[in-house]
């Protein structure tokens, strides 16, 4: 039996993880839950999964949860509380599904504590890839991707030699605004940008899909996860999101992982790896779908994709700043304080201003992140909307 | 270094195998070549690959080859000669690429002699699957598929547990006549049926693609190769032949192997397995292809596909008769002594007449094959064209 802590249990990935665990009570047991502010949901989760430890965003929220449950569960809060969930002695697997850069520290602590990681938080590897990968090696834990694209690649390379990989090909749906030309973007409302054509996901990642920033972060994440130079990672537009990603080998053979868009599949694969378990998910019927479409990535239409290759190759704290700027600007966009179409320009501005540390340590990464956020915020405030 | 004998070295698969060997002189060495009647080609092959043994179809042809080469090579002929090539002590790998049922006996002898087999001859498993698979197990040799579909499935299941497979999905291009309705088939010429939309292959297999008999044989071959019941093997029409086949696992994930249509890829995979080697082949560009199409298998349009499930489930010598009838009728069609569209009716007639042996031994299989050929020939002679 795998004993699991979930960081971000009330978010979209957290809920799907609990659905997977619900299907396999004989395989998986919940040890800890790291939640944010959703008291009603965490109370339901405590009732159903009977965890040993729960962490909330604040002391007040923790008190409220404590007063409303009869279960014998430790309730804690804040950054320390989250780390306690991530490192609990009874857990052997941690699902890192927090939003953004906030997932970095608890993930690092979980690795240090020798836990295997199911990584849904792509910002962790984007911001501190070399530190994470060194730690993973040093602690000999498993770092298993939960993103559908990286899980697809990971599934495609099972039984293969790493040296036989020629390149990996990430697929991108193009997001909610793919039908629009660049000059049409200024008229786009937040609501439109939140309508992802294929996947039902959280708001932040849906906006990231509309700007192609999601794929940009995945590019950098793939570079770290699979130890490949950026020249060996391509991105292709694939409207239907049925082929989740592909690997081309040195003999020209391409292995792809396909399926209906359902995050439960990559989540469960990380939990059941190296085997699989049955799962109640809609079966793929290519007969019903009929056609799959593919298009070259358009770097003019999606400038952050071009920028992702640049910051990835530039290394240092460039990727950290790239991600930090995006987090701030998407947050403002979700509050309707910045139009969606200005996110790209804001990220470009932050990268132009950025003073990178070469081979940064964790402290320098945290500093670069903080500065980039400040620069992004100031830039956004100066824009006349 | 792998030391290889090729049965059928002057055919389409044989020539592609030699191309693969030519690219990797440090990895592969030709030991034996089993050819038919193509003297000019075998003389070129002897000159270039310097084999130890060569077998021709007849004594006269063997004499002619002997008189025209200066190489120190044993030249033999006939069924015994072919078995000598298949079992030569210096070979450790035999590529079985002869046409039709004729490939069965030398393949059996190669397995008995402890050689690993690269199997391009699908009739071998269709006619005598249980005997072959038992022998493979007993002699502990590797039986590696060379058909692009079975190679795709074999590649897709690497690193997976057999018990995690839910079903396999063979893709079928639909062949040269896929754009025609059943009632339009009588007007089809041999030339039209020989124009495969995607693959450049031998004449027999191209006709088999037009009737869907090729996929029917592959269905039965897959049943044996992957130890799956027919209810777990589906066939889907996929016009572009880019996805070479797929495997669906119990969690709903589907792994597919894709590529440009080039037999060198599955041939080399069998030779290099479990690793891969570089190969000069056209790289897949889904961007250029743009669209992939999928359609449900149409069992009305392609009645031999329905028949394949029936004879597969009926077992005994039904699959042997199914294949034997087809070989005779395609041969007549290639001589323009039977119209293409009548092949299906002839096969159905043979199956209806067939007296099956339950759990047949090799002798009974040879007998069933001979009877089915006779019935098919007689049926064809009675048709007024």
Q: What is the mean pLDDT of residues A132-138?
A: 98
Find which of A162, A242, A253 to mutate to test the B interface (most B CBs within 10 Å of its CB): A253
Residue B291 has its nearest CB partner, among A158, A283, A292, at A292
pLDDT recorded at residue B123: 87
| pLDDT above 60: residue A280 | yes
Residue B164 has its nearest CB partner, among A248, A276, A294, at A276
| Partners of residue A236 in chain B, C-beta under 8 Å | 286-287
More confident residue, A384 or B336: B336
Residue A252 has its nearest CB partner, among B236, B265, B296, at B265
Q: What is the mean pLDDT of residues A256-272?
A: 97
A178 CB-side CA count, 13 A: 22
Give how far Cα B173 sits from Cα of B134, B186, B241, B244, B261, Å: 32, 21, 6, 10, 11
Helix, strand, coil % over all residues of chain B, rounded to 5: 50, 15, 30
| pLDDT above 60: residue A56 | yes
pLDDT tier at A117 (50, 70, 90 boundaries)?
very high
pLDDT recorded at residue B22: 98
Contact between B252 and A269 using a beta-carbon 8 Å cutoff:
no
pLDDT recorded at residue A100: 82
pLDDT recorded at residue B106: 96
Q: What is the mean pLDDT of residues B135-149?
A: 97
| pLDDT above 80: residue A54 | yes
| Partners of residue A172 in chain B, C-beta under 8 Å | none
| pLDDT above 80: residue B385 | no
Q: How big is the A-B interface in CB pairs under 8 Å?
A: 147
pLDDT recorded at residue B78: 97
| Partners of residue A260 in chain B, C-beta under 8 Å | 252
Give chain A's mean pLDDT. 96
Picking from A349, A328, A348, the residue whose alpha carbon sits closest to that of residue A338 is: A328
pLDDT tier at A102 (50, 70, 90 boundaries)?
confident
Contacts of A332 (CB under 8 A, 6+ apart): A338, A377, A380
Q: How far is A243 from chain B (nearest CA, A)?
A: 9
| Partners of residue A251 in chain B, C-beta under 8 Å | 265, 268-269, 272, 276-279, 281
Q: How far is A296 from chain B (nearest CA, A)?
A: 5
Distance between CA A89 and CA B35 in Å, rounded?
A: 68
pLDDT recorded at residue A111: 98
Residue A268 has its nearest CB partner, among B161, B251, B284, at B251
Contact between A255 and B254 using a beta-carbon 8 Å cutoff:
no
Q: What is the mean pLDDT of residues A181-208?
A: 90
| pLDDT above 70: residue A51 | yes
Contact between B255 and A256 using a beta-carbon 8 Å cutoff:
yes
Contact between B294 and A274 using a beta-carbon 8 Å cutoff:
no
Q: What is the mean pLDDT of residues B308-320?
A: 97
| Partners of residue A246 in chain B, C-beta under 8 Å | 258
Taking CA atoms, what residue in B is nearest to A289? Answer: B294
Residue B296 has its nearest CB partner, among A253, A282, A287, at A287
For residue A2, what are its two tokens?
A: 């795998």
Distance between CA B83 and CA B75 in Å, rounded?
A: 13
Fold of A2-145: Rossmann fold (3.40.50)
Contact between B276 and A260 using a beta-carbon 8 Å cutoff:
no
Give chain B's mean pLDDT. 96
Q: Are A84 and A94 in contact (CB under 8 A)?
A: no
Residue A259 has its nearest CB partner, among B252, B277, B284, at B252
| Partners of residue A262 in chain B, C-beta under 8 Å | 252
Find which of A156, A174, A254 to mutate to test the B interface (most B CBs within 10 Å of its CB): A254
| pLDDT above 80: residue B140 | yes
Query: How do the domains of chain B map onto residue ranges?
Result: 2-145
Distance between CA B44 and CA A124 in Å, rounded?
A: 60
| Partners of residue A292 in chain B, C-beta under 8 Å | 291-292, 294
pLDDT tier at B100 (50, 70, 90 boundaries)?
confident
| pLDDT above 80: residue A385 | no
Contacts of B231 (CB under 8 A, 6+ apart): none
Q: How far is B156 from chain A (nearest CA, A)?
A: 7
Residue B278 has its nearest CB partner, among A157, A251, A257, at A251
pLDDT tier at B88 (50, 70, 90 boundaries)?
very high
Q: Are A196 and A209 in contact (CB under 8 A)?
A: yes
């Amino acid at each position: 039996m795998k004993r699991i802590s979930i960081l971000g249990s009330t978010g979209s990935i957290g809920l799907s993880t609990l659905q997977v665990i619900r299907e396999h009570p004989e395989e998986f047991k919940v040890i800890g839950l790291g939640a944010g502010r959703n008291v009603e949901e965490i109370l339901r989760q405590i009732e159903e999964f009977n965890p040993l430890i729960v962490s909330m965003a604040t002391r007040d929220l923790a008190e409220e949860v404590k007063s409303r449950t009869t279960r014998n569960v430790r309730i804690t809060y804040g950054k320390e509380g989250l780390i306690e969930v991530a490192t609990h002695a009874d857990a052997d697997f941690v699902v890192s599904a927090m939003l953004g850069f906030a997932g970095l520290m608890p993930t690092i602590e979980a690795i240090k504590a020798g836990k295997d990681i199911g990584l849904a938080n792509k910002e962790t590897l984007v911001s501190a890839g070399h530190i994470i990968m060194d730690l993973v090696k040093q602690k000999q834990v498993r770092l298993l991707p939960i993103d559908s694209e990286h899980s697809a690649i990971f599934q495609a390379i099972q039984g293969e030699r790493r040296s036989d990989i020629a390149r990996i090909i990430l697929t991108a749906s193009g997001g909610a605004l793919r039908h629009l030309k660049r000059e049409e973007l200024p008229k786009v409302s937040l609501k439109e940008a939140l309508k992802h054509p294929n996947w039902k996901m959280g708001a932040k990642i849906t906006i990231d899909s509309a700007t192609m920033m999601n794929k940009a972060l995945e590019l950098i994440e793939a570079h770290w996860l699979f130890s490949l130079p950026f020249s060996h990672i391509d991105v292709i537009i694939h409207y239907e999101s049925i082929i989740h990603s592909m690997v081309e080998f040195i003999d020209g053979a391409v292995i792809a992982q396909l399926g209906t868009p359902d995050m439960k599949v990559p989540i469960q694969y990380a939990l059941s790896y190296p085997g699989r378990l049955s799962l109640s998910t809609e079966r793929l019927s290519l007969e019903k779908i009929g056609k799959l479409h593919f298009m070259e990535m358009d770097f003019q239409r999606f400038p952050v994709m071009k920028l992702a290759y640049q910051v990835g190759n530039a290394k240092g704290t460039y990727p950290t700043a790239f991600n930090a700027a995006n987090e701030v600007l998407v947050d403002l966009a979700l509050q309707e304080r910045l139009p969606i179409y200005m996110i790209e320009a804001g990220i470009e501005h932050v990268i132009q201003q950025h003073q990178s540390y070469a081979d940064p340590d964790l402290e320098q990464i945290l500093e670069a992140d903080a500065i980039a956020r400040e620069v992004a915020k100031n830039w956004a405030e100066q824009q006349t909307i």
